[in-house]
Copies of this chain bind each other. A is one copy, B any other.
C-alpha cells in the first residue's frame, strides 16, 4: 500500500461535475489500496474573482486581509471534495492550514513554509479517511492566515509529500504532462515521458506553466517523485525525478517561449566598481525581478548596461531607472517592450558541447537577430524581437526535437 499525495488544480475542480470526477478518481486510487491525500486549488477563476473585489475596494489591499480573503477559495474546494467523497460513502476529512499547522513566515501573499505538523493528517489516515487539504495557504506564528503565492497549491502538495515521505506526488492539471514545446505553437510537440528536476526547474522558470517553480525546488531537495498528469484523461503523464544516465543522452528536453519580456538599456554608464549595485539594488528592493543582465565594456571608459524585466514591471522599472540614470550621470535610458525570450533546456548540455552554437546557427538560418544571450548549465536563452518568438520556437523544436533530431525523453522517440 502506497501513500500518494494528489494535487488537483483549479480547472480540475472548476465545477460540480469536475469535483465529482475528481472524487471518482480519488476513489479509484483508494480502491487500488492506497492512502490518499488530495490537495486542492480554488475553483478556476475564483482566486482572480476575489482579488478583483479587493482591488475594487482599495488600490493596494492590505496583504494580511487579502490572504484572509483569497484563502477562502481553497477552503471551499476542500470542503466540496470532502462532501463529495462522504456522499460516496467514503470517510473523508478536510484540513485547513491552521488545523494541520502548515506553519509559514508572515510574508503575506508569498509566505514560505517553515514546517508541517503531520500528526493530525496521519491520525486521520489511520482512521481510514481520505484527507483533503486546502492548498496555497499557511498560518504564521500569530495564527494569521498566509498564502504561498500564485500556483502554490503545487507547493503544498510537494511539501506534504516530503513531510510525510509519500511514495508519490501526482499533480493533476488540465494538460496531460510536460511537452517538448507548447503544442499550440508546435503542432509536433511531444509529451515527455520523464524529465529531471533541474530541467523542470528551468522550464517552470521559463513560463511553462505546468508546475510552480518552488514546488519543483522542494521536490528536488527532498527527492519527491512527481508525476504531472491530466485530470481529464487516463493518459499517463510525465515523471519528474532525479537525473539519470538516459537523460544525459538527451541534448534538449524542451523549447520554451516567454513573451512577457521587456528590455532596458542604461547607456554611457561610467565603468567603475559599485555602479551595478547602485542600479540593481533599488530595483530588487522594489520587488522587480531582473532576469538577464548584459554589460558591454567600451573604449571611452563608459559602458552600456542592458537588462530584462517582465513586461508587466516595465513601467515601474523605467521610472526607477530614469531616476538612477540621473543620479549616476548615465547618458540615457532606452527601453523596448516588444521582445521575447526563447530557451532550450536539457541535461545533456552538461556533457555535450556545442548546443548553444547550434541554437545560434538555427536562428541565423531563419534570419532572427539575437539581442541578448544567457546560459546556464542546462539552458540557453536568447532575447529576440517579439514577432520572431514563435518562429524561433518552431525552428528550434524542429532542429533539436523534430523527426531526425537526437533522442529526447519523449514517449514517441
Contacts and interface: CB of A to CB of B under 8 A. Distances in A.
Interface of A: 16, 19-20, 50, 53-54, 56-62, 64-66, 68-69, 71-72, 75-76, 78-80, 82-84, 86-87, 92-94, 96, 98-99, 143-145
A57 B20 contact: yes
B75 A57 contact: no
B78 A58 contact: no
Contacts of A61: 83, 86-87
Contacts of A82: 62, 65, 68
B58 A79 contact: no
A58 B88 CA distance: 8
A86 B69 contact: no
Given A93-B64, A94-B68, A96-B68, A87 B75 contact: no
Contact of A69 (B53, B66, B79): B79
Overall SS of chain A's interface: helix
A83 B54 contact: yes
Nearest to A17: B56
A58 B78 CA distance: 15
A236 to B, nearest CB: 29
Contact of A65 (B19, B83, B145): B83
B83 A58 contact: yes
B78 A75 contact: no
B57 A83 contact: yes
A58 B87 contact: yes
A120 to B, nearest CB: 8
Contact of A143 (B19, B62, B84, B99): B99
A76 B69 contact: yes
A83 B69 contact: yes
Given A16-B56, A65-B92, 19 more contacts: A16-B53, A20-B57, A54-B79, A57-B80, A57-B84, A57-B87, A59-B87, A60-B87, A61-B87, A62-B83, A62-B86, A65-B79, A65-B94, A68-B96, A69-B75, A72-B72, A72-B79, A75-B75, A98-B98
